[in-house]
Structure formats: structure tokens, C-alpha cells
Amino acid sequence: MTSLPTFNPSLNERHNANAIRILAMDAVQKANSGHPGAPMGMADIAEVVWREFLNHNPKNAKWANRDRFVLSNGHGSMLLYALLHLSGYDLTIDDIKNFRQLHAKTAGHPEHGYADGIETTTGPLGQGIANAVGFALAEKTLAGQFNKPDNAIIDHYTYCFLGDGCLMEGVSHEACSLAGTLGLGKLIAYYDDNGISIDGEVEGWFSDDTAKRFESYNWQVLRVDGHDADAIREATLQAKAETNKPTLIICKTVIGLGSPNKQGKEDSHGAPLGNDEIALTRTELGWANNNPFEIADEIYQAWNACDKGNKLESDWNAQFADYQAKYPSEADELQRRLSGELPSDFDAKADEFIKACQAKGDTIATRKASQNAIGAFAPLLPEVLGGSADLAGSNLTLWSGAKGVQDHADGNYVHYGVREFGMTAIANGVALHGGFIPYTATFLMFMEYARNAVRMSALMKQRVINVYTHDSIGLGEDGPTHQPVEQIASLRQTPNHFTWRPCDTVETAVAWKVALQTANAPSSLILSRQNLAHQDRTDEQVALIEKGAYVLAKEQGDLQAIIIATGSEVDLAMQAHKVLSEQGVGVRVVSMPCAEIFVKQDRDYIESVLPSDVRARVAVEAGITDYWYKFVGLDGKVIGMTTFGESAPAKDLFNHFGITTDKVVEAVKSLV
């Protein structure tokens, strides 16, 4: 039997950590699925961090000033579930036994919203540490906006566990580089340096000098034996003492620690240990109880954080009462923002701006209309924390009141640099933290770099607003590398995500208003580089924009055909409407800035816009055509893109690809 590596926690510390190992291997074995190795290897680190340093309250998982904990190597989810269970959260031993089963709180990877204490959904490696950067950014910025010299009402840490896989993923480079640049001193990351991935020993494919890498990012880097409680404790204290840099603590660990035949090997990474090996492991760990899932009362008592957490929150509540007495308006604003509620007058003021846009009737690019909307809405919503992956001068996300967080403690704008994936994953962390509504920005084509983080926003039901400009072949000469074709359809197919492609200043303002009000889903605003004509509307039509689609131009006489369009192609549809109406064809134009919202409307409204007995339908959009057959049917026609673009002026491209008024007219007449 292989002996355990030398490590020096006290008998109690070791026994407390072993409770994590027991629960992890038992749950994975019962499910016959999962990853026991990481929880077993990181148990000693977790025991020190959670029992000695983490400020949290199991009886109120949403306490505003709690420390945040992120398990970036989310495949080791049983580590988090064991910690929550042992600490006193509403996660029972039956929940542990139900690991990886249908509708369980204990899903295969930590899922935000499934159980108290799960701060973010992790599993796609690297995004957890990026979320942690977002948590730390939100804490620092919220503190800058609300703390007073005599009362630091926002004051907490973000602790993150991560593994080799997280560090191999490029998103960790993007996020951690920015974290060092911004000096996020309350971010402490523990790297599980066990040298093993599913394929085996990582030295064959991961030979980076991680310490030098993070030192170059402006991080403090410390090294410890990940099974030495004293060393972990001392390193954490050193990390907390460094206030100007985030800290990476490189913890040398043994994966699957305690398993005589599988520790230190890939065999313990992603599969159950097996009943025989579990029995040997219990003996090796000195665990007297051979019954699965049984933890002694004294261990539960040692882990239980409820009394400590209640006192921490009670002390903070007293601190907040003092803050409220001295700074009542700030206290009210902080409470409003942390609740996620918008100001009571926002809706009315937003409608005033939208009405002004309709009256003014500007012919401008929707990217410029978006900047105008930000300039109107952001002063009403100090929780808006914007940013762009470079390109701010092109996607027009900077506004007159923008202040960079790198220069202003109370800033409201992040210069993300060319880091689309990192930016979006960080924004997810900001949204999860609370107190902010983040927006991100890049060209629509480069949404592809951020795609998985956009998906995570939707999966976690987070209010993140993505500004994507240069939305079609209309961007022109930069050519097919920069011209999006299939991206809008991809976004529309994402569950719990709303894709807006407005046609002018009014629809753009409405898109911003609704996106800001949509609390449980992300929104993407797809905006043009080129100027788009203003469309005349009645007040009733303006009000209907929020329904996702509406009749912009009515038919003259009997309704024979319908043209559906979005964005820059709405004006083509309007021009075609004029031509066809003059020729006696009864055609209506439906502007559909957000198809996902439209299909959620009641049947009567959908029928009023798209009568089912009118089969002659044409959709026009400068993107991939396939998506639109759900609205026009197999008998209808779609004018759009079926190939990649070309490099040329926008006007020439629209003519070349047949996205013109004449083609719309021709398509309608062929169906009538």
C-alpha cells in the first residue's frame, strides 16, 4: 500500500479535510460518474480557506458583503458541494447522494441558481477565473462608488480555485492579464498544481512557467505545498496583505490524495475510484467509518459556519445602519442597486428619450444611435458599467460621462483591450456580483471569440448587454474576415437570449431600454456601421416596438403579401413597399428588431402582425437566410446571404449579393 505524502495539518485539520475526500469519492461512486481527484487533492487548501478565511453566512447566501468563492475547475464540483454541505448551507446529505441526477441541486458541474452558495456556473475551463476577475472588479468599483473614509461598507475578497486546464485556456490569459493591470488586490487564486489532466501527465503539453507568466501580469506569486495547512495559511495572509496586486498561490498537490493505487494518476481524474479502492482509501486516511456518506457529529460541528456567519452579517448590518444614518441617499441607492431594481422613474424617462428620437428623425448609423442612447440612459442608471474590447472609437461605446476604472476608483467604464472572450466572461462575473449592469462591445464578427461566455450569460440568466457593431456586409472594404454572416442566426438560436437588430434611432433606443429592463437574460444589440434612414411612425407603432415586431407600413387595399425585415434592410423593404403599392400590390412591411421577443407574444398579436392565411411572405436581412424560413415558410422567399462576403464598398456588395429593392420587389411579385 502506497503511503500518503508528507503533510502537516493537525489531526483535526486532516480529519476535517478528509470529510471532503470521503463525500467526494462516495458521491462519484454512487453516481458512477464524476471527478473525485480534484476534490481529494484540494481538500487541504479548501479546509484552510473555508474554515479560517472565507467570510460568508450559510443562512443567507446572498449577504451583500460576503466573500465570493469560485471553483473555476468546475469538474471538481463535489469539492464545492461538500464545502456547502459541511458548512451548513441548505444542501443536505440526500442532495449529496443525488449527485449528477435529474433535477439535483448537485449537478455535474456547479450551476448558478441550483443551490445556495454557488456563485457562478463553472465547467467550461478558464471562465471561472475570468468570472472571479469580474467579482473582484465589481467589488473594487462598488467600493469606490460607495465607501466613505469612516465606513468601508463594501469590503470583501474573491477566492478562486483553478487547475491546469483553466490556465491552458486562453481566456485565463485575457482575464488575468487585465486583473493585474487593474490592480485587483482582493482577488486570491489557488492553482491546483497537480500535473495531471484526463490525458495524463501535463508536462508533455503544458510546460509554461506559470509563476513567471503571472508575475509578468503584475500578480504576486507564492508557492506552497498544497497539503501543508500552515503554509497555505501563511500564504493566504501574505496575499491579503498585498493590496495592490492580485495573488496566485501555486499549490503543489497530489490528485486523488489518499487513494493508494490511483493518487497522482489520471485514473483518479474523471472516473469513480471503485468500491475496492474506496475501502482501501478509507483505511489509508484513517477514516474509521466504512459506511458511505456518514460524517461524525464532531466534524459537522467543526465545519459549521452558521454562528460565525450570522455574527459577521449582524456586525455588517450594524455597520450599514451607521452608514444609512450618515449617508441616507447613498444607502438607499446601494440597496436599490444590489436588489437589481431600476429607478421607479426610468421607464417614463426612457420613453421621453424615445419620443424625442422619433420627433428628431436622425438618419445616422445605429452604432451612433446606440451611443446617444447610452448617453441618455447611463446618467439615469449609475449601475451601468460599460466597456469595449478596444474599438471604442468604432463601436461608439464611450459617452460623455464615461470614466475609466483604471484611473478612477469610482469609474464606470472598462478599457478591456483586445480581449473579447475575457471581457464577456468578466462581465458575467460583474453581473453575478450585483450592483451593476455591465455592457460589453466589439464588432459582431468578433462575437465569435466571446461566444461561449455569451452562452454562459444566457445559461446563468444574467443581465449582460452586448453591443455588436459592423453588423453585415454593410461594413464594406474590410472584407469577409470582418463581415458577419451566420452570427446573428447563431445568437437568435441561443435559449434565454434576446437579439436586437434595430433599423434606426428609435428602434435602437427601444432596444437599449428593453435590454436594461430585462433582468434575467442577456441581450445583444446588433448595430450598423453605415447610416440608416429614419422611419416615420405613429405613437402606437413606437409602443409596439417592445413586442419585438410590428407593422411598420400597412397594405393598401387587400393584404396579398408581407415583407419582414430587420436593421439596414428595413429601408429596402419600405422602398419596395412604395414600388409595389404603386403597382397595386397589397403588401405590408413588418419590422422585426427582436424575433425572440416577438414569438413570446400572445397568439392574437402574432396573428395581427403575420396573418396565417397570407402565405406570400418575403424576409430580407443581410445575414444567413436559413433562420427566416420559420417565419416565411417553405413557400416563402428569403433575400440574404448564402456565402461569405467580399471586399468592396458597401453599395457594391449589396448589389453584388442581390440585397436590393429590385430583388425584394421581384420576390414579392413572384409569390403574389
Q: Mean of the pLDDT values across residues 356-372?
A: 98
Q: Mean of the pLDDT values across residues 425-442?
A: 98
Is 213 assigned a ligand-binding role in the annotation?
A: no
**pLDDT at residue number 10:** 65
Q: Establish whether domains 345-526 and 546-670 are of one fold.
A: yes
Closest CA to 377 of 359, 401, 393: 401
Is 109 assigned a ligand-binding role in the annotation?
A: no
Q: Could you report the per-residue pLDDT of 594-652, keeping only the tens digit for each?
A: 999 999 999 999 999 999 999 999 999 999 999 999 999 999 999 999 999 999 999 99
Question: Per the residue annotation, which of 277, 420, 555, 596 is the catalytic one?
Answer: 420
Is 124 assigned a ligand-binding role in the annotation?
A: yes
How far apart are the C-alpha atoms of 616 and 587, rounded to whole Å?
9
User: Burial level of 413, CB count in 10 A (0-12/13-18/19+)?
Assistant: buried
State yes or no: pLDDT of 444 exceeds 90: yes
Q: Could you report the per-residue pLDDT of 515-552, keeping only the tens digit for each?
A: 999 999 999 999 999 999 999 999 999 999 999 999 99
How far apart are the C-alpha atoms of 219 and 518, rounded to whole Å?
36
Find cell 397595386 and name the residue.
584
Grid cell, residue 262, equals: 490511483
Is 492 assigned a ligand-binding role in the annotation?
A: no
State yes or no: pLDDT of 1 exceeds 80: no
Is 385 assigned a ligand-binding role in the annotation?
A: no
Is 99 assigned a ligand-binding role in the annotation?
A: no
Q: Mean of the pLDDT values across residues 120-148?
A: 98
| CATH architecture under which domain 345-526 falls | 3-Layer(aba) Sandwich (3.40)
Residues written for the chain: 672
**Where are the chain's structural domains?**
13-69+125-310, 345-526, 546-670
Can you list the alpha helix ranges (DSSP code H) found in 378-446?
A: 392-395, 420-433
Q: Which amino acid is at 517?
A: Q
Q: Could you report the per-residue pLDDT of 184-241, keeping only the tens digit for each?
A: 999 999 999 999 999 999 999 999 999 999 999 999 999 999 999 999 999 999 999 9
**CA Rg, the chain, in Å?**
28
Q: Give the confidence band of 13 by pLDDT, cuts at 50, 70, 90.
A: confident
Q: Which amino acid is at 201?
A: E
The pairing of strands 384-388 and 196-197 is: unpaired
Helix and strand totals (H; E) in the chain: 27, 20
Is 173 assigned a ligand-binding role in the annotation?
A: no
Is 446 assigned a ligand-binding role in the annotation?
A: yes
Domain 13-69+125-310 has what CATH class? Answer: alpha beta
Q: Could you report the per-residue pLDDT of 457-488, keeping only the tens digit for each?
A: 999 999 999 999 999 999 999 999 999 999 99
Q: Which stretch of DSSP H or E encloses residue 285?
A: helix 275-285
Closest CA to 482 of 491, 471, 492, 496: 471
Is 103 assigned a ligand-binding role in the annotation?
A: no
CB contact at 8 A, 427 and 396: no
How far apart are the C-alpha atoms of 262 and 273, rounded to whole Å?
8
Is 56 assigned a ligand-binding role in the annotation?
A: no
State yes or no: pLDDT of 31 exceeds 70: yes
> Does residue 420 have an active-site annotation?
yes
How far apart are the C-alpha atoms of 464 and 491, rounded to whole Å?
14
- C-alpha distances in Å from residue 578, one per residue of 361, 541, 581, 661, 665: 20, 19, 5, 10, 10
Q: What percent of the chain has pLDDT over 70?
A: 98
Domain 546-670 indexed as CATH 3.40.50.920: yes
Q: Give the confidence band of 14 by pLDDT, cuts at 50, 70, 90.
A: confident
Q: Could you report the per-residue pLDDT of 317-355, keeping only the tens digit for each?
A: 999 999 999 999 999 999 999 999 999 999 999 999 999
Grid cell, residue 603, equals: 397568439
Q: State the CB neighbour count (10 A cutoff) for residue 670.
A: 10
Q: Mean of the pLDDT values across residues 250-271?
A: 97
**pLDDT at residue number 2:** 40
Q: Mean of the pLDDT values across residues 495-514?
A: 98
CA angle 350, 356, 357 (to 5 degrees): 90
State yes or no: pLDDT of 11 exceeds 90: no
Terminal CA-to-CA distance of the chain, rounded, Å? Answer: 82
**pLDDT at residue number 12:** 78
Is 482 assigned a ligand-binding role in the annotation?
A: yes
**pLDDT at residue number 7:** 46
